[in-house]
Amino acid sequence: MNKYSLAIINYNSCTEAELLNLLKKGIEPAFNEIVKRWEKKLYDKTYKRVQNPILAIAITKEIFNDLWERRAAIQIEHLQHYLSVNAKYKVFLLYNKKMLSQRIEEPLDHFAIAILEAEAALSIEDIKILISKWLLTQPEERVAIFDLKYKAKFTSVEISNTLGIALHIVKKQINISRKSLNQFVHQFLALSLD
């Protein structure tokens, strides 16, 4: 095709590979078709994690903006996987910025309550403080896994994919975290009862 020929492309009939190829070339209608196909699915996946429609929309738009801006540099084999991993990563980044602390700390409350059911004398705030102190004593990788598992509610497989860590390592770190936190809390209670 030379610069004088006009190609009429029906973008909604293009395959994912064809759209990605056109996207790399900066063809905006191909990008618009990708957005049209994936925006709702990506929003739903993000909303499921953040439970906030405004944040879910913002994350979804940011992912597509990043895709457009980085179109020439990125290598995408499977668009669904690429978008899904980016959504998880953006949610995790927002969590780290404390934008989602109220919503994401809730599962941590349940985890803490399960550990300390017998020690009902501690308030939820005391438990959160204890967990925060315990996290300061843990290796960085274990903290990241703990945060994704109990605060962001990721599955072990999602954690493995997001952090690029083998699944068996993730599972091992989760078990170590549970035992370590349980031991930390019991030591604290033993000291406070003396």
Q: How far apart are CA 147 and CA 142, in angstroms?
A: 8
pTM value? Answer: 0.49
Asked whether 76 and 82 are in contact (CB, 8 A), the reply is: yes
Q: What is the pLDDT, as a whole number, of residue 38? A: 94
Count helices and strands (H / E) in the chain.
Answer: 9, 0
> Over the stretch 119-168, which tens digit does the pLDDT of each residue have?
444 556 667 777 888 888 888 888 889 888 888 888 888 888 888 889 89
Classify residue 111 by its DSSP letter.
H
Domains by residue range for the chain, with CATH: 12-96 (1.10.1740.10), 101-193 (1.10.10.10)
Q: Do 177 and 144 meet the contact criterion of CB atoms below 8 Å apart? A: no
Q: Is residue 33 over pLDDT 90? A: yes
